[in-house]
Amino acid sequence: MLHNKLGLVSHDAEKAFSGYTIFSPMGRPSTFLINMKGDVVHEWELPVMAGNYAYLLPNGNLLAAQRTPDGPADLPGKGGKLIEMDWDGNILWEFTDHFQNHDFRRCANGNTVYAAWEVMPEEAAARVQGGRAGTEHKNGIYGDVVREIDPDGKLVWEWSISRDVEIEKYPLCAIEHRKEFGHINSVQPLENGDYLISCRNNHLIAIIDRETKDFSWSMSEMALGHQHDATMLDNGNILVFVNGAHSVYGGPKFGSRIHEIDPNTKEVVWEYRGSPPYTFHSPFISGMERLSNGNTLICEGQWGRLFEVTPDSDIVWDYVSPYFNGKDVPYAEGNFVFRCYRYAADSPEIAGRLPADAG
């Protein structure tokens, strides 16, 4: 929800997970690292506008996306170039795919995986069910691709929703446009080489088997409410941001939720919701992270709100980004943040890189 205070709102030092939080305001070329008091302790300036978000690698470098002018600029979530920067802002690695969008991750083997678009072949596009008739993109229907590249930028693995999915089994939301089939907003590499993905427009969470490219597990329910940021936890459960968009069709009413789902039963085993529910709501973007002390860091993306809750849903840290989007960006004026992460002071991402008085 809209908040009337910017910066740090509240902080319970005894219950919060102490560390540094990274976030990238959408529509700006900046990534900020803040301490628990909300003070900026480090800033990276990207050459151009950020493509959704950035995060720190274990070597302390920043992995980020930038928005490029080529490719389908009218589709949401566009990036186009991936870059790795050191602590001083020097670009050490870069890769361009003008169709890259939303998510990207560095794999344990040193490769990089990212989501991209491709125009679906006519035969595949004709099989797409659901959505509002006549709302296709001028180029047809875009479908999702997941690509894994090596450090030299060579493609080593690819999955395509057009080729590798039983399209009819996953219809689009009834009131969604037909410009995209899928709309992947997160792709997480799993320890065994498989990938956990979230497809917003189909209310779909699925695990892609690396060898067969089939779904080894999937969940497609309207109650997911155009979800974001599906994340496999260490305990084997899946954490997901349930946005609550198009709630009249089965999503949560009057707000968003965070669900921890047991993949074996597909039951919700933990939930966070606002109290009252409408006090926590972001119908698009957004994400969350389970912290090592059991708390959950949440990005209420539409409002630029980053906050931490305990397992009992107590808010123990609350911050609202003061870095609003400019008027000359595709997102217009707003305070959007796609995702955020928290790093402990002694983590490999942070240790030895900040002055002692960073807080």
Per domain, the residue ranges of the chain are 1-67+80-86+284-353, 107-259
Please write down the long-range contacts of 267-274, taking CB distance under 8 Å and 24 or more positions apart. Answer: 269/237, 270/311, 272/296, 272/298, 272/309, 272/313, 273/313, 274/1
Question: Rounded to two decimals, what is the model's pTM?
Answer: 0.96
CA 158 to chain centre: 20
Task: Write the pLDDT tens digit of every residue in 293-311.
Answer: 999 999 999 999 999 999 9
pLDDT at 1 over 90: no
The pLDDT value given to residue 3: 67
The pLDDT value given to residue 223: 85
pLDDT at 249 over 70: no
**Omega before 263 within 30 of 0, i.e. cis:** no
Side chain identity at residue 223, one-letter code: A
CA distance 261 to 167: 25
- The CA distances from residue 196 to 205, 284, 285, in Å, are 7, 19, 17
pLDDT at 177 over 60: yes
